[in-house]
Structure 1
Amino acid sequence: MSPDGQDEVLLHTEGHTGYVTLNRPKALNALSHTMVRRVDEALAAWEDDPAVETVLIRGAGERGLCAGGDIRSIYEDARAGGSASADFWRDEYRLNVRIARYRKPYVALMDGIVMGGGVGVSAHGSVRIVTERSRVAMPETGIGFVPDVGGTHLLTRAPGRLGTHLALTGNAVGAADALLCGLADHFVPAARLGALTADLARSPVTEVLVRHTTEAPPGELAERREWIDHCYAADTVEEIVDRLLASGVTAAKEAADTLAAKSPTALKVTLAALRSAEQLGTLERVLEQEYRVSCAALSAPDLAEGIRAQVIDKDRTPHWAPATLAEVTDDDVARFFAPLGERELRLAGPDSPEEVPW
């Protein structure tokens, strides 16, 4: 229950479909630990229920599916030196795997704001739908954090270096660019979502998609591939910034300015995590790495400071420590990837991870 007595996750079945509604519209449906557990339990039950053939997830209200995890709770935990956030991430990342390996069609309505943890409960699904209102992002570097919930896995699979650009800048993309980057599969006008949702109760997913999908409005990233691929192929964040500034392209200069406002440590750790994720292969192995990184971030200064500046005090002037890229050493970065011993997250993986399970 939320503080006002409302269920934070609404569950019901109609026809052959199970419906999950994230129900914290005043908080942009941000995920609490209770919500993660409730969604996971529902998916587990429906996966073995022959009466449920399809699952759909959506967000309550008009603003978006989910803006991410409850970062106010993470802020309080980081300040107190607690472990509640690590427990939350452990269950959240397991939910991400369940979604990715779900044996039935998992339809995610990625309408409106879909960020951070919202990407985790949608972009790993088998049927990912965006609209003209979609704004999809992994904005973690702006709060001194690193893309998680399998975000580094998803973004390394985008064409060229588009994923690196999105991970470092935290920029949000619309429908066409989400499709281009492999974060979504289909475009449906927002006005048709109600009809699509209703149709899923009585018709198979493939038939419903044919009725409602159409072509997305043009995006921006395709025409920027040349400078993005060149600049973000550099080996270090410093060289990426230098290439952006030297490119002579206005949008590239804007990207450099964006990076200048992010946590220097988060930028360097994010780049290292992306490059490592390219070699790790499966989502499970990447999430295990992300868990180490997230736990390390909880005890680093920039996470609490970033949340303070962006969400708590809203002064938008974080004081990063270290304050510059040059001051972030290789040892500083390596600390985020150190083994956790008995606290490691260990996830089983499928023999054929690329197979669609239905």
Structure 2
Amino acid sequence: MTQARQWATTDVLEEVRGGVGFITLNRSKALNALSLAMVRAMYEILLDWKDNPAVKAIAIRGSNKEGPFGAFCAGGDIRFFHEQAEHGNPEIEDFFTEEYTLNNLIPNLGKPYIAFMDGIVMGGGMGISQGGTDRILTERTRMAMPETLIGLFPDVGGGYFLSRCPGHTGEWLGLAGDHVMGGDGLSIGWGDHFLSSSRQAEVWQALGEQDFSSGEAARQWLRGQCEPAPAVSEAFTKAREEAEQFFGAGDFNAILKALEAATDNAWAQKTAQALRKRSPLMLHVVFEQIRRARGMTLAEDLRMERDLVRHCFFPQHMGRKAVSSEIIEGIRALVVDKDNNPQWDPPRVEDVTPEMIEAFFESPWPASVHPLASLK
């Protein structure tokens, strides 16, 4: 029976049917944007099922205003970030520590985790899907890591999975925040299976009506229900080819300079114009994040990102207060006041110094007492 635990929230529904644990994100009015209560509910549910031998596999989906599916998760609740950072609420620290702990738990469950990634899957939605064993994309899937739009960086393990995209696709998607549509994500490792959106309900229902002997048996059954991967779209193929020409440079300034110099290339000009609207400081930080993450485990990457997010919201390392941070200014301009005119500091990518970038990667905690020290 679908329910919400007493300590949890009705924004996360759980049930166990036929040896499979099912989670439905139920905050459709906010496109299932993650709140602290939702993160806590998911973590406790998964921790319980991890050690429950009766639960052979786990499946998760989102919901929209009409019912299940249609939207997976649009990310974290950025209005909450803005309000709490302005007021110095320590719950903003709790949110990121607990969200990243959840992101690390998913690939360490020791049993299948099946994500029905229908509709919008962005930011935090990627964080609760990319660690899964079976990531199902549909023709309605729209994936992105668009954090540079609001003066943040692609977190929730973004450094880890972006850096493992083929070639320099990860730098392109992490810096520009472009969307990956439908089954195209299969070609860069952001999904494992394809399923028409019209068939999700029947597969979800049938998944809980089997008598699986093991988690691997559940995975084999699921693979039999999915469909052949569609051809990669011509537009995505071309965009990746373009990205390879520019995003392999040795630093971000070189990337932008090359894009702007390609005056006869419409894709390069459009991408350069989009990047000029992002936080210059955070573009440099994101470039460094992705390059560093290539040599890290997921746990190491999440610890680095926890350092980064502290510096983003509380930029004392730059002599600024929270209200003067890039993230608060970005959310103000794009979401709160909606003037679409963020006042970035520094205002140009050329004004960002190596010292400004490096300061983001200096941990504010000794290793032994880091908030994510226990992650393996």
Residue 31, structure 1, aligned to residue 57, structure 2: no
How many pairs are equivalent? Answer: 346
Q: How far off is 1:205 after superposition?
A: 2.5
**AA of the residue aligned to 1:310:** L
Q: How far off is 1:210 after superposition?
A: 1.4
Are the counterparts in 1 of residues 160 and 293 from structure 2 also a CA contact under 8 Å? yes
Are the counterparts in 2 of residues 158 and 180 from structure 1 also a CA contact under 8 Å? no
Q: How does 1:1-358 map to 2 (within 5 A)?
A: 7-61=10-64, 63-203=70-210, 204-219=218-233, 220-247=235-262, 248-280=264-296, 282-300=297-315, 301-342=325-366, 344-348=370-374
Q: How far off is 1:241 after superposition?
A: 1.1
1-structure distance, mates of 2:88, 2:281? 20
2-structure distance, mates of 1:221, 1:299? 37
TM-score for the superposition, normalised by structure 2: 0.88
2-structure distance, mates of 1:225, 1:91? 34
Structure 1 counterpart SS, 2:294: helix
1:232-272 residue CA offsets vs partner (Å, 9 max, x unmatched): 11122221012122333211221111101111111010001
1:301-353 residue CA offsets vs partner (Å, 9 max, x unmatched): 21001111111122222111111111211111112111122562334565xxx
- Alpha carbons of structure 1 residues 83 and 330: separation in structure 2 relative to 1, 3 Å: farther
TM-score for the superposition, normalised by structure 1: 0.92
**Where does the alignment leave 5 or more consecutive residues of structure 1 unmatched?**
351-358
1-structure distance, mates of 2:103, 2:349? 32
**Where does the alignment leave 5 or more consecutive residues of structure 2 unmatched?**
211-217, 316-324
**AA of the residue aligned to 2:33:** A
Are the counterparts in 1 of residues 9 and 38 from structure 2 also a CA contact under 8 Å? no
1:19-68 residue CA offsets vs partner (Å, 9 max, x unmatched): 11111100000101111111011111111112111101111215411000
1:103-144 residue CA offsets vs partner (Å, 9 max, x unmatched): 111000110000000000011111001111111011100000
Q: How far off is 1:78 after superposition?
A: 2.0
Moved beyond 4 Å, runs of 4+:
347-350
Structure 2 counterpart SS, 1:297: helix
**What is the percentage of aligned positions where both structures have the same residue?**
38
**AA of the residue aligned to 1:268:** H
Q: How far off is 1:224 after superposition?
A: 3.4
2-structure distance, mates of 1:6, 1:89? 18
Of 79-88 and 229-238, more deviation after overlay is shown by 79-88
**AA of the residue aligned to 1:289:** M
Structure 2 counterpart SS, 1:39: helix
**AA of the residue aligned to 1:154:** F
**CA RMSD between the two structures:** 1.8
**AA of the residue aligned to 2:294:** E
